[in-house]
Structure 1
Amino acid sequence: MSQIFKPVFAILAVLMVATGAAHAASKEKIDRRTDKALAEFREDIGGADDVLARAAGVLVFPSIKKAGIGIGGEYGQGALRVGGQTVGYYSTASASIGFQLGAQARRQIIVFLDPKALEKFRYSNGWEIGVDASVTVVTVGAGGAIDATQLNQPIVAFVFDSKGLMYNLSLEGSKISRIHDD
């Protein structure tokens, strides 16, 4: 392992322990958090119901925690819903080097608008944004609105409910892995 990546992995490990990510939350806890995140998304964001109705699948990360001072890391756990039912549990993690300072917690909903993109995700063994698929990122503030008719990408991610301050919001390089066997 190169000398430059050792600090990145050390910070990611500290972040995971600090956020309780060293162990996967129970399925029930992830489902409760997912339900709450989806309810808030629908309540706070105009057009959310239309987007979710168009989705072949929805991957919800109720809380992703990110921290960094030059070197950073992030981690979160969530659920994949198809037809309103949970079909799998996942984690997202990434590490980065570059200009960044601060800490942030955010909600992230990845909407698979193309059934083929959803199928590729579900049957992959680990999935990395920017490598296995391109994801269009939409940052939405409270009271914001989405025009579902304007979404023409196969996979769209909505980032909302950010708390804290973090310069450098990108999903590129985020690794998503299954955490519970069904």
Structure 2
Amino acid sequence: MALGTTESSSDEGYWYDRSDPSALEVLEAIRRHRDAEAAMRRRTREDMDMGDTDLAALRWIIRQERSGRLATSAALARELGITSAATVKLVGRLVSGGYVERQEHPTDRRSLLLGTLPGAHERLRRALGPMHERMLRLASSLTAAERLVVVGFLDRLSEIVEDAPDLGGSPPSPSSPPAT
């Protein structure tokens, strides 16, 4: 099991009904993908000397830039759900790491404008570019009908995961099954 993942099965498999082994194979494949992605993210963080929040912030700033929207420290704090004090520290780490530059916001003195430095894009491309190219080739190898099925399945799976109840950090009661 990869670090940072929550396991919902034992060595015998999932805790729930095994009536359709092929459906369980799909869920096991999803688990393998999640574990591989978690390991890839760990390697990327180590290669770029960043934490999870730092990498999430850098990706968000890049998305803002690509969509033509201003990236502000206040919006970053809202996006990541962190305090303004934590945002100041986070932005400081990204600046000192050579990933981001900050400028005064022209109309809001409480907020900073954030922009990536060219080197940040190059480091991300070097770290993730070859993998992204292979992923694109794999997706391109699917027929149009297969892509629709995969996209529909993954979108519905995402909705299920997003709708999962927030347990608030408390352990499940003995009578309730563990979350997946």
Comparing both structures, which one devotes a greater share of its residues to helix?
2
Same fold (TM over 0.5): no
Using the size of structure 1 for normalisation, the TM-score is 0.31
Q: Which has the higher strand share?
A: 1
Q: Identify the structure with bigger relative contact order (alpha carbons < 8 Å, sequence gap 6+).
A: 1
- Output the TM-score relative to the length of structure 2: 0.31
Instruction: Please say which structure displays the higher CA radius of gyration.
Output: 2
